[in-house]
Chain A
Amino acid sequence: MLLLVARQYEEQIEEKYHMSNAVSLRVAADVAQLAVIRAFVEQQARALGVDAFDMYDLILAVNEAATNIVVHGYRGRPGVIEIELRQQGDAIEIRLRDQAPLFDPTRVPAPDLTQPLHKRSLGGMGVHVMRELMDAMHYRVTPEGGNELTLVKRAIVAGSRKE
Chain B
Amino acid sequence: MQLTVDQVEGRVPVTILAIHGDLDASNYEQVIAKARELYAAGRRHLLLDCSDMPFMGSSGVVAIHSIALLMRGEMPPDPAAGWQAFHSIDHARADGIQQQVKLLSPQPKVMRTLQMTSMVDFFEIHTDKQAAIASF
**Chain A contacts to B: CB under 8 angstroms:** 1, 31-32, 34-35, 38, 56, 59-60, 63-64, 67, 70-72, 113, 116-126, 128-129, 132-133
Contact = CB atoms under 8 A, between A and B. Distances in A.
A72 B83 contact: yes
Contacts, number: 93
B95 interface: yes
A67 B61 contact: no
A63 B109 CA distance: 14
Interface in B81-116: 83, 86-96, 98, 109, 112-113, 116
Contacts of B83: 71-72, 123
B113 A129 contact: yes
Counting chain B CB atoms within 10 Å of each CB, the highest count among A60, A63, A123 belongs to A123
B116 A132 contact: yes
Contacts of B109: 56, 60
Interface of B: 21-22, 24-26, 55, 57-59, 61-62, 65-66, 68-69, 74, 76-77, 83, 86-96, 98, 109, 112-113, 116-118, 122
Contacts of B68: 117
A interface secondary structure, majority: helix
B23 to A, nearest CB: 11
A3 B117 CA distance: 32
B25 A31 contact: yes
13 contacts: A31-B24, A35-B22, A56-B112, A64-B58, A116-B95, A116-B96, A117-B68, A117-B122, A118-B95, A123-B86, A123-B87, A125-B58, A133-B116
A116 B117 CA distance: 12
Contacts of B94: 118
Contacts of B95: 116-119
Nearest to B77: A122
A70 B88 CA distance: 20
Contact of A38 (B55, B66, B116): B55
Counting chain A CB atoms within 10 Å of each CB, the highest count among B26, B76, B88, B94 belongs to B26
B55 to A, nearest CB: 7
A71 B86 contact: no
Contacts of A72: 83
A121 B87 contact: yes
A34 B89 contact: no
A34 B122 CA distance: 28
A118 B21 contact: no
Given A32-B26, A56-B112, A117-B95, A123 B62 contact: yes
